[in-house]
Amino acid sequence: MTDLTKKYLETVKKRNPGEAEFHQAVEEVLESLEPVLEKYPEYVETGVVDRLLEPDRQIMFRVPWIDDNGKCQVNRGFRVQFNNAIGPYKGGCRFHPSVYLGIIKFLGFEQIFKNSLTTLPIGGGKGGSDFDPKGKSDNEVMRFCQSFMTELGKYIDADTDVPAGDIGVGGREIGFMFGQYKRNTDKWEGVLTGKGVGWGGSLGRTEATGYGTVYFTREMLKANGMSFEGKRVVISGSGNVAIYALQKAQSYGAKVVVVSDSNGYIIDEDGVDYKLVKQIKEVERKRISEYVVHRPNAKYVDSTNPWEVKCDIALPCSTQNDIDLPKAEFLVANGLIAVGEGANMPCTNEAVKFFLSKGVLVGPAKAANAGGVAVSALEMSQNSMRLEWSFEEVDTKLDSIMTSIFQACDRASKEFNMPGNYVAGANIAGFLKVAKAMKAQGVV
Ligand code: NDP
């Protein structure tokens, strides 16, 4: 680590104490940027990096709501508007009890580079709450979402900041929040993405992150003379990203044997039944253990570590820091060839370094899971034009965006003499576009 990286990191740690995930995300990006800042010292001299490490603004607010027993509950809401150099702030909202400022900031920081990589005009932001939708009635979720939006709505609009979904925020939550925004402002505008088809949502948005992760991984494998055909795949998670990664990987001839949730995982040596997972998790909102009731040959394992099952390709699609060094060592010892990060920061920095040192291909989150936000940006375009594109049109655009993201990562990794290191390639390509815009726009 250079002295300059150390200096930046010290400032970030001092200014943002206790925000471990944010520190981790910053460290990973800064390390990759060392050769870039050597080649382009103007980004240091003009304070581009200092400014990039400090969000434009961080909003925290009270979210009071009434539960089904008539009792007042209080949660905390967040929106971090990180950087709008290349377009309006854009990034999802996460509802999960683990949410605090450090999680939202790590996600918002990553989002800057991810959005830049999509080639579309969107800046970086992220939001959420420590609210847990699990076990709540639809009416409770609605009252929470309405209260959340009543406050958040003061800081967003279609040209300023456009939130979307993330963990715990799907079509139901987006619907309740959109309804409240409309009611409070009297405006029908594309202020949120991930809306329902028929009222401003884009066909293909639900599938986009999972499909996109597989498109990126397909390109990465292809560039190294391999494919999904006949490969054994383990997926963590069974939510939005996992379900569509599962479907797309299978369509390319992969054998997906594991999916998980926060309680345990199922292993199905005949290949996981995509429709059944979708029914259990998306429609019935039940636990993944339910899977074995319908597929007696499958096994449910009461363990939060699906990475104890050997595979050729790992698609972590649940949450951050899912694969640490010991899990990475196990996977490599058992023949792992590639990782496609569907979730945000699912591998620790130590795990990523280990994978790269062993020649395992790594598709980093900010590139591999950029398909969701890319189609969100396409949803914004459709809303502005008052048009609706077909599923095929959107999916074709998604495929071509993911292919060009892979090419950008590949090019940048080669330009800075790290061929095959798509982690560094993604950070560099994402950074350069934003840095150029920030420099051109002066010290703001
Ligand atoms: P969902 O809420 O739909 O699904 C999340 C899945 O991960 C569930 O199976 C959940 O299990 C599991 N999970 C959540 N937290 C934990 C945890 N702490 N430990 C173990 N398992 C956990 O979320 P998404 O599929 O939308 O998001 C998954 C990841 O992808 C996140 O990292 C998100 O930031 C990222 N992402 C999502 C995008 C999108 O478009 N949705 C876009 C880009 C990135 P359970 O059912 O038990 O809660």
**Segment 165-222, tens digit of pLDDT:** 999 999 999 999 999 999 999 999 999 999 999 999 999 999 999 999 999 999 999 9
**Segment 257-308, tens digit of pLDDT:** 999 999 999 999 999 999 999 999 999 999 999 999 999 999 999 999 999 9
Helix/strand/coil for 3: helix
Contact 371, 401 (CB under 8 A): yes
Helix/strand/coil for 364: coil
Which of 205-232 are b and which e, b meaning 16 or more Cβ less than 10 Å from the residue's Cβ? bbbbbbbbbbbbbbbbbeeeebebeebb
d(CA 52, CA 37): 14
Please choose from 193, 260, 319, 322 the residue to mutate so as to test ligand 1's pocket, defined by most ligand atoms within 8 A of CB: 319
Backbone phi and psi for residue 248, each to the nearest 5 degrees, phi listed first: -70, -40
Judge if the beta carbon of residue 280 lies within 6 A of ligand 1: no
Judge if the beta carbon of residue 207 lies within 6 A of ligand 1: no
Which domains can be identified in the chain, with CATH numbers? 55-185 (3.40.50.10860), 206-368 (3.40.50.720)
**Segment 348-406, tens digit of pLDDT:** 999 999 999 999 999 999 999 999 999 999 999 999 999 999 999 999 999 999 999 99
Helix (H) or strand (E) holding 288: none
d(CA 26, CA 101): 15
pLDDT in the model for residue 80:
98
Judge if the beta carbon of residue 209 lies within 6 A of ligand 1: yes
Contact 82, 125 (CB under 8 A): yes
Query: Sorting pLDDT into bands at 50, 70 and 90, what band is 315?
Result: very high
Strand-pairing partners, residue 243, are: none
The closest residue, in CA terms, to atom 5 on ligand 1 is 239
Query: Sorting pLDDT into bands at 50, 70 and 90, what band is 10?
Result: very high
Please give the angle made by the CA atoms of 287, 365 and 8, to the nearest 5 degrees: 125
| Pick from 110, 192, 122: nearest CA to 156 | 192
For residues 8-23, average pLDDT:
98
Long-range contact set of residues 321-329: C-beta below 8 Å, sequence gap at least 24:
321/21, 321/24, 321/345, 321/346, 321/347, 321/348, 322/236, 322/346, 322/347, 323/347, 323/348, 323/351, 324/348, 324/350, 324/351, 325/350, 325/351, 325/354, 327/351, 328/354, 328/355, 329/354
Please give the angle made by the CA atoms of 431, 414 and 342, to the nearest 5 degrees: 60
List, edge to edge, every strand of the sheet that includes 123-129. Answer: 57-66, 72-83, 123-129, 89-95, 161-164
pLDDT in the model for residue 176:
98
pLDDT in the model for residue 438:
98
Query: Sorting pLDDT into bands at 50, 70 and 90, what band is 238?
Result: very high
Query: Ligand 1 atom closest to Cα of 94?
Result: 34
pLDDT in the model for residue 249:
98
d(CA 213, CA 220): 11
The residue annotated as part of the active site, out of 90, 126, 327, 366, is 126
Judge if the beta carbon of residue 344 lies within 6 A of ligand 1: yes
Helix/strand/coil for 159: coil
pLDDT in the model for residue 121:
97
Distance 392 CA to ligand 1 centre (A): 26
Outline where 230-360 has alpha helix (H). 240-251, 274-278, 291-294, 325-333, 349-357
pLDDT in the model for residue 408:
98
Give yes or no: 310 in active site: no
Judge if the beta carbon of residue 83 lies within 6 A of ligand 1: no
